[in-house]
Amino acid sequence: MFGKRIPLFKLFGFSVNIDVSWFILAVLITWTFATSAFPYYFEGFSKNTYLWMGITGAIGLFASIIFHEFCHSLVARRYGLHMKGITLFVFGGVAEMEQEPDSPKTEFLMAIAGPVSSVLLATGLYLIHFVGVLIAWPVPINNVLYYLVLLNVALAVFNLLPAFPLDGGRVLRSILWAVKGNLRWATKIASKLGSGFGLFLIVTGVFRFIWEQDFVGGAWSALIGMFIRNASEMSYKQLLMRRTLSGDEIWRFMKTDLITVPPAISVEKLINDYFYRYHFEMFPVCDSDLLLGCISTEQVRQVPREQWDNVIVGDIVKPCSAENTISPHTDAVKALSIMNHTGNSRLMVVNEGRLVGIVTLKDMLKFLDLKINIEER
C-alpha cells in the first residue's frame, strides 16, 4: 500500500509515519480550506488570514486522524494484537496490524474505537470553541475550531458506513462472525459490500465530474472509491492467504535446485554468468552447501568497472541477515510477513548454517492457488 515512509515521532510505543503521498493530500487540503471552504463558510477575512486558517485547519485535521487511528491501536494492543504503527498517506491514515483479531469481540471493540474517539474529540473541540466564544478569542480561531468539530463528526459518520475495510465494515464483519462463527465467510460478505460501496463512489465521482462540472470533488470521490474497492478486495485475499497457508512450513514451498555463486570467481564472471543470465538481483555465495553470505547488484555497483576482472566475489560478499534468510520449519505466514516487511520476494532457507533451499513469493502463491482449487467447495 505504501511507498517511502518518513518517521515523525513515537507515542506510547507506536510509531507515527507519513507516506510520501501524504504531501499531495496536505497541499490539497490546505489549498481547499484556504481558497474554498473557509471563504465560503466564514466571510470577511483577508487572504493571509484564510491562508493561516487553512494551514491550522489542515494540521488540526491530520491531528484528528492520528488520534482516531491511535485509539484503534490502543484497543488492539489491549487485546494482544501487534501494531506496526500509524501511517498518514494520500487517503488519510491507517493503523497497521500484522494479524487479524482472534475473536468477534476484539474486532468489534477495535473497530468501534475509531468513530467513538472522533465523536469524543468533536465534543472536546466544541467545548473549547464554546469557551473561546465566551472569552472572545479571535474569530478566525473559533471558526477553525468549529469547522474541526464538523470534520470530526463527518469522519465518524463516514467510518461507520458498513463498507469493509472502513470501521463500520469491520463492525459488520464482527457481527457476522459472531452469528455464524466463520471469519472467512464474514470477511467475504463485508468485502463484497465494501467493494460495492467503492463502485458507488466511483460512479458518483464520474457523475459529479461530467454533469455537475465539479472536477475536484468528482476526482476525489472516484479516487476514494477506487481505494476502498481495492482495499476491500485485497483484505479478503490477504485473509484467505493467511488462513490457507497457516500451519504449512517453508520446506513445502522451497526449491532445492539452487543457483549459488562460488566465492573465488571474479565480479566480471559474476555479472555475465549469473546476473545477466538468471536475472536475479541477489545470489547466495556458498562453499559447497555452507552459506558464506550474499552478493547483490548494490554491492557490484560499488566496484569500479575497470576492476571487475581483478576483484573476486569473496572480497565483497556480505553476511546474510534475518531479512533474507529463514528456517525450513518457519510457518509460511511468517515468511509472507518478512517478504512484505522487507520487500524481498526471495528468501534463502538455511539450516544450521547450510543453504538447503530458496523460497519465492511466486512459488508460495502458486501453492496457495492450487490448495484453494483442490480444497474449496
**pLDDT tens track for 291-318:** 888 888 888 888 898 898 888 999 898 8
Report the chain's C-alpha Rg in angstroms.
Answer: 26
Q: Do β-strands 325-326 and 346-351 pair in parallel, antiparallel, or remain unpaired?
A: parallel
| Cβ atoms of residues 2 and 19 within 8 Å | yes
| pLDDT (mean) for 117-145 | 92
Predicted local confidence at residue 91, as pLDDT = 57
Classified as helix, coil or strand, 347 is: strand
The CA–CA distances, whole Å, from 89 to 29, 92, 240, 241, 254 equal 13, 5, 26, 25, 36
| Alpha-carbon 371 to chain mean position | 27
CA atoms of 53 and 144, how far apart (whole Å): 6
Which are the contacts of 351, defined by CB distance < 8 A and separation ≥ 6? 327, 328
Which are the contacts of 302, defined by CB distance < 8 A and separation ≥ 6? 316
Predicted local confidence at residue 78, as pLDDT = 85
| pLDDT (mean) for 355-366 | 83
- Model confidence band, residue 90 (pLDDT cutoffs 50, 70, 90): low
Look at residues 279, 188, 196, 310 and name the one whose alpha carbon lies nearest to residue 238. Answer: 188
CA atoms of 55 and 44, how far apart (whole Å): 18
- Domain range annotation of the chain: 5-245, 250-375
Count Cα neighbours of 191 within 13 Å in the Cβ-side half-sphere.
Answer: 17
Q: Which helix (H) or strand (E) holds 294?
A: strand 290-296
Tens of pLDDT, residues 34-59? 888 889 888 888 989 999 999 999 99
Helical pair 361-375 and 215-245, crossing angle rounded to 10 deg: 80
Residues 92, 93, 98, 104, CA torsion sign: negative
| pLDDT (mean) for 186-209 | 87
User: With 90 as the cut, is the pLDDT of residue 150 above it?
Assistant: yes
Predicted local confidence at residue 221, as pLDDT = 82
Q: For residues 351, 355, 361 and 363, what is the CA-based torsion angle, rounded to 10 degrees?
A: -100
Domain covering 250-375 assigned CATH 3.40.50.10070 in the classification: no
**pTM here?**
0.70
| Alpha-carbon 177 to chain mean position | 24
Predicted local confidence at residue 28, as pLDDT = 84
User: With 80 as the cut, is the pLDDT of residue 195 above it?
Assistant: yes
Tens of pLDDT, residues 307-359? 988 889 998 988 888 888 888 888 887 887 788 777 778 888 888 888 888 88
Q: Do β-strands 346-351 and 354-360 pair in parallel, antiparallel, or remain unpaired?
A: antiparallel
User: With 70 as the cut, is the pLDDT of residue 1 above it?
Assistant: no
CA atoms of 107 and 302, how far apart (whole Å): 49
User: Which of 75-84, 91-100, 115-124, 273-282 comes out lowest in average pLDDT?
Assistant: 91-100
| pLDDT (mean) for 127-137 | 91
The amino acid that residue 15 corresponds to is S
Which are the contacts of 16, defined by CB distance < 8 A and separation ≥ 6? 7, 8, 9, 10, 66, 85, 86, 87, 88
Predicted local confidence at residue 3, as pLDDT = 52
Tens of pLDDT, residues 12-29? 777 777 777 778 878 888
User: Which of 155-159, 162-166, 301-305, 348-352 comes out lowest in average pLDDT?
Assistant: 162-166
| pLDDT (mean) for 116-131 | 94
Residues 58, 59, 60, 62, CA torsion sign: positive
Tell me which residue has cell 568497472: 305
Max mean pLDDT among 79-88, 112-121, 192-201, 324-333 falls in 112-121
The amino acid that residue 11 corresponds to is L
